Structure 1
Amino acid sequence: MSPQEFCRRLEIPEECAPLVEQALTHRSALAEGARTSNERLEFLGDAVLGLIVTELLYTLFPHCDEGELSRARALVVSRRTLAQVARQLGVDQVLRLSAAEEAQGGRHRPSILADAVEALIAAVYLQAGLDEARQFVWRMLGDLIQRAPDVYRAHDYKSRLQEKMHALWRQTPEYDLLYEMGADHDKTFCVQVRLGDVVLGKGVGKSKKEAEQEAAREALAQLERAEASPHRHNFIF
């Protein structure tokens, strides 16, 4: 697919095509003849995305405080969210990578996909301006942005677990990193959550925060099963 065709797919001006081509070029391609990569665009796009999402959340949710807005923004601009958007847009199909990076699964790596989306936002911003970039972001993320505070609260397992533990035991759960593995750009973390010496759950994620949320989610699931059990007195909860 040509850059012009991809612009039409994204519903952005075709004049963005040269920068879109750059936005879709991973740094590994420099070893195989690419003249430039998307790293500088990704740097700019990260800031532009943050500004646009912050402005939209500020406008849409006048009753949310700073903390709620910050958490909602973190959800919208997270690597996981942007990687999902990249797949929906077909970015993974048109990325330019080296053969070595391709062989290592780079085309499907969330960090590479998320970086490409940020680079695309920068390409639109530089070529067509902030208003066009805002429309582009809204088409990609508008549905999530409108639901972000509620979605975050529903998936903030750590806060929910802490509230539950305080209500039941007046104690705060603690999180321990069990191990991390993988290359620096593609690490996996495993975390456990415990109350005193009792392990409540374990979780795995591509960041410590993600692993902690997964561990808290497992702990909450165990708590729900314990509360529903006729033998609930056998559980720590």
Structure 2
Amino acid sequence: MVQFHYSTTKREQDIQAFLKIIGISDLNKELIEISLMHPSYLHELTIDKEKKKLQEKEYRRLAHLGDAIIGAVVTDYLYEQYSDLAEGELTQLKQQLVNKVKLSKFAYQIKLHQYCLLGKSLKRSILNRQGKLFSEMFEAVFGAIYLGLKRDFSLSKSWLIENLLASTLDKVIDLDETDDEYEDYDYVLTTREYLDPIKLKDFPDYRWAPDNDDD
């Protein structure tokens, strides 16, 4: 793993504050730093290209791991709690709980948007991919949490369920609803909600444009 050392006291304080928010103080701080640094910011750093490549790779690996473990946690939880549901019903319920809309909301709940590092182009643009961006960063953070908890699936599951999923379950458990609304929709975060934490005050209060994502 590439080692990056951040000398600024402010960043160290931010990491500590973020750990306090998620309620786990003894995680690997290097992994948390990597998960909170979007590649767009990384590419603006004046470091060796190979180091940038390696850290972006580690970020992507954390997001991949987090995505898989989140899926496993939700699948395990639903299997345990809803023994009367058939496979199709379990799948539909999982889709309602794990999608980029929900993960973006989870990211916002733990104030990831305040503590992540984004490139200037992302900070100064009204983007239609914010939902996708923050859902991916949440996956990376959860990957770091999972590794920081020594790959303890039970502890990771407890953290996700108790801190985020428990309050969501009551709102989405409706097996008669389809999941079509989530397929092409990004979580709508107002410009002001996003720009205030990153100290950009002079933008009008637009809304993100979720329907223009070509991806």
Q: Shift in Å at residue 114 of structure 1?
A: 0.5
From 105, 108, 119, the equivalent of 1:87 is: 108
SS class of match (2:72): helix
Q: 1:110 to 1:84 in 2, by over 3 A?
A: same
| Larger relative strand fraction | 1
Which residue does the alignment assign to 2:75?
Answer: 54
Tell me how far apart the structure 2 counterparts of residues 207 and 85 of structure 1 sit (CA, whole Å).
Answer: 24
Q: 1:2 to 1:103 in 2, by over 3 A?
A: same
From 151, 159, 162, the equivalent of 1:136 is: 159
CA contact (8 A) 1:8 1:14 kept: no
From 69, 74, 80, the equivalent of 2:90 is: 69
> How do 1:1-237 residues align onto structure 2 when only pairs under 5 Å count?
1-33=13-45, 35=52, 36-37=55-56, 38-105=59-126, 109-128=130-149, 129=151, 130-138=153-161, 139-145=163-169, 148-150=172-174, 152-153=175-176, 155-156=177-178, 188=211
Tell me how far apart the structure 1 counterparts of residues 17 and 132 of structure 2 sit (CA, whole Å).
Answer: 24
SS class of match (1:32): coil
> Can you list the C-alpha shifts for 1:48-83, whole angstroms capped at 9, x where unaligned?
000000000000100010011001111111100111
Task: Specify every segment of 5 or more residues in structure 2 that has no aligned partner in the other structure, as ranges.
Answer: 1-12, 181-208
CA contact (8 A) 1:20 1:123 kept: yes
Off by >6 Å, runs of 4+ in structure 1 = none
Q: Which amino acid aligns with 2:157?
A: R
Q: Shift in Å at residue 92 of structure 1?
A: 0.9
Please give the root-mean-square deviation of Cα atoms over the aligned residues, in Å.
Answer: 2.7
Calculate the TM-score normalised by the size of structure 2.
Answer: 0.67
Task: Specify every segment of 5 or more residues in structure 1 that has no aligned partner in the other structure, as ranges.
Answer: 159-185, 190-205, 209-237
**Identity of matched residues, %:** 23
Q: Shift in Å at residue 147 of structure 1?
A: 5.4
Higher relative contact order (CA 8 A, sep 6+): 2
| Larger relative helix fraction | 1
Tell me how far apart the structure 2 counterparts of residues 51 and 117 of structure 1 sit (CA, whole Å).
Answer: 16
Q: Which amino acid aligns with 2:167?
A: D
CA contact (8 A) 2:27 2:145 kept: no
Which residue does the alignment assign to 2:5?
Answer: none
Larger Rg: 1
Q: 1:21 to 1:107 in 2, by over 3 A?
A: farther
